[in-house]
Amino acid sequence: MQAQQELFNYFRQALPDAYDGALPPQNTPYPFYYLAETYEYTGASKNGLYGTCNMVIHVWHNDWNQRGTVSAMMENVKSIADAIGSTASYSWSHIRSETEEQLMADNTTTPPLMHGWMSLRFSYSRKG
């Protein structure tokens, strides 16, 4: 299995109520997590496969005054990322200093939403 898929599966299991693929239906209760894109950069050496991978996760709340709630949910994601250690085929390390995140008002709906976006970076190597 590709490293990016194992990383996605890890977050899918750690955040079982998160949505992925299509955004949730309009009546979905807030707040919620959305597992979005993964990016993988692979290298190889005589000692095995290694690389970096990014996982993009969004958080939405239907009350833009709930910035603290969204921020706490994003910190929860970073704690999950810090705890990864390994998956079935790969050893992982969350590079917290390279995590990008943004909190913003999202006025694509009425009422406006609070939207958190984060891209978490990991280094990995194939086990064994």
Q: Which pTM was predicted?
A: 0.92
Here the CATH number for the domain that contains residue 66 is 3.30.70
Per the structure, the count of domains in the chain is 1
pLDDT tens per residue across span 49-61: 889 999 999 999 9
Give the structural domain span for 48. 3-126
Q: What's the mean pLDDT in 20-41?
A: 91
Q: What is the dihedral of CA 47, 48, 52, 58, to 10 degrees?
A: -150
The count of other CB atoms within 10 Å of the CB of residue 58 is 19
Q: Is 5 exposed, middle or buried (0-12, 13-18, 19+ CB in 10 A)?
A: middle
Per-residue tokens: 105: 């008002």
Give the whole-angstrom CA distance, residue 128 versus residue 111. 51
Q: Would the pLDDT of 45 be above 80?
A: no
Bridge-based pairing state of the strands 48-61 and 90-94 = unpaired
pLDDT of 47 strictly over 80: no
Using a pLDDT cut of 90, give the percent of the chain over it.
73
Does the pLDDT at position 127 exceed 80? no
At 63, the amino acid letter reads D
pLDDT in tens, 68-117: 999 999 999 999 999 999 999 999 999 999 999 999 998 888 888 999 99
Question: By the 8 A CB rule, do 16 and 7 touch?
Answer: no
41 Cα distance to chain centroid: 17
